[in-house]
């Protein structure tokens, strides 16, 4: 499994764009990059996944450079409700995935 490294915490203010970068130097050819969001007292939930270049959905954008050794989760115009822990995972796109979560990035959005 490719190891991932992300900042432990980040602070932001409402209305700002937040970018959380994850390093995964040993990513394999058939690995996808997936991000989860966890609110207090809840289990994590899937927010976005990508393989290369850029992916965008209604929640976030995911930027992946050509070498795929890192990825950046971008949250546009955050609100207080985006305060959560964000996890970056790397897992293969075939068969079983042993989903190992790291420590995640604790994002605090202030008024």
Q: How far is CA 79 from CA 21, 23, 64, in A?
A: 19, 25, 24
Least CB distance to other proteins at residue 87 (A): 7
- Closest CA relative to residue 27, chosen from 57, 2, 53: 2
Q: Is 54 strand, coil or helix?
A: strand
Judged by beta carbon, residue 16 or residue 28, the one nearer other proteins is 28
CB closer to other proteins out of 18 and 87: 87
Question: Closest approach of Cβ 77 to other proteins, in Å?
Answer: 25
Please state whether 90 falls in left (phi above 0), alpha (psi between -120 and 50) or beta.
beta
Which residues within the stretch 40-99 sit at the binding site for other proteins (CB under 8 A)?
41-46, 49, 85, 87, 89, 91-99
Report the interface residues with other proteins, using CB under 8 A.
32, 34, 41-46, 49, 85, 87, 89, 91-104
């Amino acid at each position: 499994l490719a190891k991932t490294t992300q900042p432990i915490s980040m602070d932001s203010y409402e209305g700002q764009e937040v970018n959380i970068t994850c390093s995964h130097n040993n990513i394999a050819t058939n690995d996808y990059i997936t991000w989860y969001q966890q609110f207090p007292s809840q289990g994590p939930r899937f927010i976005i996944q990508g393989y290369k270049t850029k992916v965008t959905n209604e929640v976030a954008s995911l930027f992946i450079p050509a070498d795929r050794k890192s990825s950046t989760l971008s949250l546009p115009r955050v609100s207080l409700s985006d305060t959560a822990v964000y996890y970056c995972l790397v897992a293969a796109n075939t068969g079983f995935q042993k989903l190992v979560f790291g420590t995640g990035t604790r994002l605090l959005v202030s008024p």
